[in-house]
Amino acid sequence: MYSRIAGTGHYVPERILTNAELEKIVDTTDEWIRSRSGIEQRHIAADDQTTASLAIEAAKRAIEAAGITPGDIDFLVVGTTTPDLVFPNVGTIVQEALGIHGCAAFSVEAACSGFIYALSIADKFVTSGESKNALVIGAETLSRITDWTDRSTCVLFGDGAGAVVLQPSTEQGIISTHLHADGQYKDLLYAPAGVSKRPQGDLNKEFAIHMQGNEAFKLAVKTLGAVVKETLEANSLDHDALDWLVPHQANKRIIEATAKRLGMPMEKVILTVAKYGNTSAASVPMALDVAVRDGRIKRGDLLLAEAFGGGFTWGSALIRF
């Protein structure tokens, strides 16, 4: 028994923030942002939008694509670092908005790897027979934890959501998932204020993302290289077998390094970082849905999805679409 992706969806808020606009806010240039990260623009949530509202729109699209109704969903998990509230969790807010009642609904906090973690959990519920229609979402409003005076981070992030519906299948679907974390790197990428750890001083800065970009970059390249190798070896596959790499969209140069490690040409890599920036847990399901809807990813294709984020956390999924 496998779990198989029955439908995908994504949603981004209407407001686009271009590099040219950022040039007016901080000491940066379009050329610097493009050449260092590959980012050209990002979408920013409206004041009345939250992580859950983006997640709801992505979920509706995935449910429609799967050819089911919200009432069919019997398991709901959201990967997010930017929940609406301390509680109730984002999963229950999405659940209520979609008119679903009674099934398990929760969120997973694993920074940019949140969707891969959520997918791995949902896969276990579907393959064990406990769920027939699992809704798996990655959703973020990173703009709410961005310090808009810090040029080293504010040019990188964006808001958005992506979702998939998993169903049981006798045909291959999620073939394997590989999850990892190492808390020794917590100081390289973090948002310092929390709930149990009370904010001190300037709230805007305390809640904002702090990153040692260069160190995070080097570890991301190394770690993602290792996890894609692990995934192929675990399945006795050569990189030639892969049709698509669906990477976390933090930085085009990190993605290029991973593709090079896999010996994959960039034509086989789904890239959304230019339009959406880094949307953390939302980036993998957003990239997946973009490529499914534009016809690049087809039924039967073999995909390798991977992500890396604060903690550090990282992981991958080998998927027969």
Which residues are catalytically annotated? Answer: 112, 248, 278
Q: Which is nearer to ligand COA, 12 or 191 (CB)?
A: 191
Nearest Cα neighbor of 40 from 271, 277, 199 is 277
Instruction: Give the helix/strand (H/E) hosting 21.
Output: helix 19-25
Residue number with CB closer to ligand COA (144 or 151): 151
Q: How far is the CB of 56 from ligand COA (least distance, A)?
A: 24
Residue 41 Cβ, how far from ligand COA at the closest point, in Å?
Answer: 14
Compute the least distance from the CB of residue 321 to ligand COA, in Å: 25
In whole angstroms, the minimum distance from the beta carbon of 192 to ligand COA comes to 16
- Judged by the rule CB under 6 A, the positions of this chain that interact with ligand COA are 28, 32-33, 36-37, 112, 151-152, 155, 189, 213-214, 216-217, 220, 250-251, 254, 278, 308-309
Q: For residue 85, what is the DSSP state?
A: S
Strand partners, 77: 106, 136
Residue nearest to ligand COA (CB): 213
Residue 33, token pair as written in the block: 């942002």
Tell me how far, at minimum, the Cβ of 235 lies from ligand COA, in Å.
Answer: 25
Report the residue number, 18 or 214, with the smaller CB distance to ligand COA: 214
In total, the chain counts a number of residues equal to: 321
Name residue, tokens 């669906």.
Answer: 246
Closer to ligand COA at the Cβ: 3 or 280?
A: 280
- 3-state SS, 219-281, equals HHHHHHHHHHHHHHHHCCCCHHHCCEEEECCCCHHHHHHHHHHHCCCHHHECCCHHHHCECHH
Nearer to ligand COA by Cβ, of 167 and 249: the residue is 249
Alpha-carbon gap, residue 85 to 83, rounded angstroms = 5
Taking the C-alpha atoms of residue 238 and residue 230, their distance in angstroms, rounded to an integer, is 11
Handedness of CA 249, 89, 145, 47 (dihedral sign): positive
